[in-house]
Amino acid sequence: MKNRLFSLLLCALVSFNVYAQSDQSKKGLLTFDGTRILSTGLMQSKLKMAWYSDNKDVRVDTKVLYNNQSSMLIPSLKGKKTDTYFYIFNQDIVGKTIVFKGKYKYEQADHAKVSFLINFKTNLKKEAVKAMDIECNGNQDWKEFYVEIPLEHSEDYYFRVFCEGDVKLWVSDCQVLFDGQSFDIVKNPDIEVDKDIEFVRSSGISIKEVSPQTLENLEVLGKVWGFLKYFHPQVVTGKYNWDFELFRVMPEIAEAKNKKVRNALLNKWVDKYGEITETENYTITDSTQYHRFAQLDWLEDQNIFDKRLSEKLVKIKNAKRNSVFNYYLPLLSGKENVEFARDKPYPSIGWEDQGYRILTVYRLWNAIEHAYPYTNLTNHKWSTLLAQYLPEFINASSEADLDNSILKLAAEVNDSHGNLEFPYGPRLNGLPLGLTQTKDGKLVVESTILKDVDRGSVILAVNDKPISEIVEINRLLLPSSNERGLLRNVSHKLFVTSENQIKVTIENKGISRECVIPMQTFARMDYKGKKKPEDYGLNAKDILYINVGETSAQMMEKLMKTRPNAKGLILDMRKYPQWYTMNLLEKYLFPKQNPFMWYSINPKKFPGNYVINVIGYVGVEKNPDYFKGKIAILVNEGTQSFGELTSIAFRTAPRSAVIGTQTAGANGHCGYLYLPRGLKFNYTMAGAFYPEWGMNQREGVRIDIPVEQTVEDVEAGEDMWIRKAIEYVESEQ
């Protein structure tokens, strides 16, 4: 049964005939009331959170009701099978159990079989399936089905109704529960928030005199506002537009004459959202399962709050919250499939609006404070940065000044995943120059088609600004995990300009000169880059070569199948891997399954306490025919995220070594946060570590054999990574 269902799952992911999307204005996420059934037969790249079936005759029945709710009719005929399922995509779900329950009835059954199932693929690549099987004969009035299975982390969950044989089956009142809490909470959570439109055009806030007391008031308000945003049980359900609640209270608190007045106002504000009636024990009994803990000692700081207010805030910290859903926690990538937005982007707001400027710094600072796994790794203590940056946002004199402040605060996360996307800006041009880094930190031309700039040229200055100065300016503006990642990011922007020409000062063979290059009509020459892998006679040396960013799946399979006894294999990880790389190669490279990574996630109930969520394994359980040759894993600053994860996985293979330079040091699920004026900030939102919390973030992949590249190597077109790999494979070590 399990194999058959897994095959059906794969088929369902490729094609389907009937697509039913729940109308989220109705009650219940899995409701059939108002459900649209579309017989499109169209392929979709990603399934939506909806009902699906491979039988075009499956339909909503508005006449056969259970408790005044519509049902879904699933007709099945002898000799045919019908698979109908509801699909949920959600990377954030943590808990112990998952339940699929509802009501069913049938008629005209003749030795039919019906199965209600939960199935999902765990991060350990195992298929988790639990079913309730029913033999059907004759007629049966409404009856309950109930399926429960231990919850393991996944992204894709399927709640299926499988029919085989002659039967007319109806299902209704379907629900999904995680730890006893209904997943219906994610249904249209914006409905209350969107009713509040008071400040959609303007915050109406103007703070004319910004005294030290005003700054202190606004710092305290920002921290309390962010804490309530992620912890208050009335706020985390999406009941309030928390941005607009801020605008309502900000003017009065900003003008508070002293701490006593401020505390009175904060007490009154907190009381507005009701008394906490249920609390929960959030004591951490095994700290080894965590790598980051919420920093909330300030709630009891008597230098900030009076005793009454501290007691209220601590009670909110310990309030009982939903484990499935926290409305304002930032989304993990891919959540576009879950059809709700959280932090609003307010794209029509102008930079002049002081309230929205303050909201911007509050939103960004609190997201990192409560929803970033590596807050403890930033160069500057994150808890100090709200007070440091508030004056810049309050007093910004132009849009450029404001944008610069946002860039600086975003760069403070020291995360190479970090990236601010602005919805506006001039058209930019660039130059066709590929740069690389030498062992002493020089940026050198590795590839070129420019007649004026040869391979091996050291970049000294751009528009008369020395490279060292450009690097220091961008150190404040570009989120980077480490120095090599910073130089990589600088090199990507070095020749980008809105001007018609650019002046580049270069040094070649000890002679420096200036080149003024037109951006669109530059003189060309034939492409000149570094040597290709085949130039090193790898075939003659019996060494396989796979570029994980370019080699096709078919070619990978061919190489591994036709040359299983090769002397060595080079896995070039310097480009971002194609998604299939690890899954395809693991069956060839490993004699057994190996743990290679610990993943952590931010729990809904207590944000900031990053806990181990799953242990990543690579390889197959028993594989005596694994590749016996040496494996050289090539990395550099271009190896990031999935590239780092995959490199770490491959390193657990026998006779393997990581060869290269420091990688980008940005690993873990990437997510995004919207900021006012339509800005979008991407950063790392889930942790990824070597086992036992070994550090990968900022430090990068552990290097076994370092590569030291010189200007002369680049000028000669040498690929020092390939050369080192050959040395390793051919050595006796």
Give yes or no: residues 181 and 194 share one domain.
no
pLDDT at 6: 37
For the stretch 306-363, pLDDT in tens is 999 999 999 999 999 977 778 888 765 443 332 335 799 999 999 999 999 999 999 9
Mind giving me the DSSP string for 666-678? --S-EEEEEETTT
Give yes or no: residues 232 and 352 share one domain.
yes
For the stretch 485-525, pLDDT in tens is 999 999 999 999 989 999 999 999 999 999 999 987 767 67
Q: Are 619 and 585 in contact, with CB atoms under 8 Å apart?
A: no
Give yes or no: residues 249 and 356 share one domain.
yes
Give yes or no: residues 155 and 35 share one domain.
yes
Q: Which two tokens stand for residue 514?
A: 């200036």
Total domains in the fold of the chain: 4
Any domain includes 544: yes
Q: Are 725 and 570 in contact, with CB atoms under 8 Å apart?
A: yes
Residue 150, pLDDT above cutoff 70: yes
Amino acid sitting at position 402: L
Residue 12, pLDDT above cutoff 60: no
Amino acid sitting at position 457: S
Give yes or no: residues 254 and 146 share one domain.
no
Give yes or no: residues 106 and 139 share one domain.
yes
SS (H, E, C) 412-442: CCCCCCCEEECCCCCCCECCCEEEEECCCCC
Side-chain-side CA neighbours of 37 within 13 Å: the count stands at: 21
Q: Is 485 helix (H, G, I), strand (E, B) or coil?
A: helix
Any domain includes 505: yes
Give yes or no: residues 26 and 137 share one domain.
yes
pLDDT at 332: 57
Domain extent, residue 563, equals 533-730
Residues 6+ apart with CB under 8 A from 240: 192, 193, 196, 234, 273
Any domain includes 241: yes
Query: Distance (Å, rounded) from C-alpha 481 to C-alpha 387?
Result: 23
Residues 6+ apart with CB under 8 A from 507: 457, 458, 460
Give yes or no: residues 9 and 140 share one domain.
yes
Give yes or no: residues 220 and 282 share one domain.
yes
Ramachandran bin of 238, using left for φ above 0, alpha for ψ from -120 to 50, beta for the remaining angles: left
For the stretch 636-656, pLDDT in tens is 999 999 999 999 999 999 999
Q: Are 72 and 172 in contact, with CB atoms under 8 Å apart?
A: yes
Nearest to 632 by CA among 733, 534, 494: 733
Give the percent of the chain with pLDDT over 70: 91
Tell me the CATH number at 71.
Answer: 2.60.120.260
Query: Distance (Å, rounded) from C-alpha 568 to C-alpha 576?
Result: 22
Nearest to 608 by CA among 318, 296, 311, 379: 296
Give yes or no: residues 47 and 112 share one domain.
yes
Give yes or no: residues 505 and 546 share one domain.
no
Strand (E) or helix (H) holding 248: helix 242-254
Give yes or no: residues 355 and 220 share one domain.
yes
Tell me the CATH number at 677.
Answer: 3.90.226.10
Any domain includes 422: no
Residue 32, pLDDT above cutoff 60: yes
Q: What is the pTM of this model?
A: 0.84
Query: Distance (Å, rounded) from C-alpha 49 to C-alpha 87?
Result: 5
For the stretch 596-644, pLDDT in tens is 999 998 888 899 999 988 889 999 989 999 999 999 999 999 999 999 9
Residues 6+ apart with CB under 8 A from 390: 215, 218, 219, 222, 358, 361
| Angle at 308 (CA atoms; ends 307, 310), nearest 5 degrees | 65
Question: Among positive and negative, which fits the CA dihedral 466, 472, 475, 480?
Answer: positive
Any domain includes 125: yes
Select from 186, 210, 236 the last residue of a domain: 186
Q: Is 224 helix (H, G, I), strand (E, B) or coil?
A: helix
